[in-house]
């Protein structure tokens, strides 16, 4: 009986944690929208800071001349418009890109193990015209490939997504589907590495991340990963209850653009076919 009580107590605690995450996500989403409004109001200030940052960065890295103002603005936003911090971040990214992508892209032959599992798909756009990406956590196999291949797969996916951005768009919406996820799929090193790439090298590209079909055992991994998520990214994460899945997604995505596995009308397409 003691074991049963302890198990029940653990499940109740995990359920409360899940609810807390969901409530935090809703509050954070509102804060993010308010922050975006403030940034838009200060467009003139941002333009001035872009010019200053460009001049500062070009002194250390002439390749900054090839960087457009939108990228500089994204790095500024990622560092709360602090020119010095944003400049350091941008220069670090450019150095990383030259080392990690000497050819300018990741070839599919380099990530064949990752592509074979169809764990990253893309289809449709949300109501603001932002591309929709679906990642299946339960299809990830940590024993298949290695961490470097996972990193290349993440970069491959992000490059594909950015290339598919409609004109005038800079962000994408992601759905992290954890149906079937278990401890055998858990890969903390890969999660942390993926977060680092997204936050440090592709800042302000993620608009929202809906985490769906969340098993309670995932909260164990979530506790470990959470401290590595920066404050701006945390505000974009929304945990979705199964019973509210379709209605929540339909708030942001029209049914004609929603993936069919969530009750929409578009079949998912593997990322390599996009």
The pLDDT value given to residue 41: 47
**Residue indicated by tokens 């929202």:** 208
Strands 131-136 and 120-125: antiparallel
Closest CA to 77 of 69, 63, 237: 69
The answer to whether the beta carbons of residues 115 and 270 sit under 8 Å apart is: yes
pLDDT tens sequence across 43-83: 888 899 999 999 999 999 999 999 999 999 999 999 999 99
Task: Quote the tokens at residue 160.
Answer: 């594909």
Q: Superfamily for 106-271?
A: CRAL-TRIO lipid binding domain (3.40.525.10)
Contact 88, 78 (CB under 8 A): no
Is residue 6 predicted with pLDDT exceeding 90? no
β 172-177/131-136 pair status? parallel
Q: Tokens standing for 97?
A: 């890109």
Residue range 203-240, pLDDT digits in tens = 999 999 999 999 999 999 999 999 999 999 999 999 99
Instruction: Judge: domain 1-99, CATH 1.10.8.
Output: yes
Which residues belong to CATH 3.40.525.10 in the chain? 106-271
Helices (H), 79-187: 83-100, 112-115, 147-163
Confidence of residue 31 (pLDDT cuts 50, 70, 90): low
Banded model confidence at residue 5, pLDDT cuts 50, 70, 90: low
In sequence order, what DSSP letters do the residues of 3-30 get, joined into one string? HHHHHHHHHHHHHHHHHHHHHHHHHHHH
Name the segment(s) of the chain with CATH classification 1.10.8. 1-99
């Amino acid at each position: 009986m003691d074991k049963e009580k302890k198990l029940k107590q653990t499940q109740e605690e995990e359920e409360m944690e899940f609810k807390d995450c969901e409530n935090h996500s809703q509050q954070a989403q509102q804060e993010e929208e308010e922050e975006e409004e403030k940034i838009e109001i200060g467009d003139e200030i941002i333009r001035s800071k872009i010019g200053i940052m460009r001049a500062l960065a070009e002194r250390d890295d002439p390749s900054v001349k090839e960087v457009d103002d939108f990228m500089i603005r994204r790095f500024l936003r990622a560092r709360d418009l602090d020119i010095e911090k944003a400049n350091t971040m941008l220069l670090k990214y450019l150095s990383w890109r030259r080392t990690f992508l000497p050819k300018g892209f990741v070839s599919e032959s380099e990530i064949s193990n990752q592509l074979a599992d169809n764990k990253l798909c893309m289809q449709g756009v949300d109501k603001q015209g932002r591309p929709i990406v679906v990642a299946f956590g339960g299809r990830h196999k940590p024993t298949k490939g290695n961490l470097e291949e996972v990193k290349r797969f993440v970069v491959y996916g992000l490059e594909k997504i950015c290339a598919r951005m409609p004109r005038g768009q800079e962000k994408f919406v992601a759905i992290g589907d954890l149906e079937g996820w278990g401890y055998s799929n858990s890969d903390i090193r890969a999660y942390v590495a993926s977060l680092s790439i997204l936050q440090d090298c592709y800042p302000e590209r993620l608009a929202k991340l809906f985490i769906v079909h969340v098993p309670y055992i995932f909260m164990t991994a979530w506790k470990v990963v959470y401290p590595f998520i920066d404050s701006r990214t945390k505000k974009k994460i929304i945990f979705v209850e199964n019973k509210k899945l379709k209605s929540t997604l339909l708030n942001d995505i029209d049914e004609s653009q929603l993936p069919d596995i969530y009750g929409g009308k578009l079949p998912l397409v593997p990322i390599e076919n996009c």
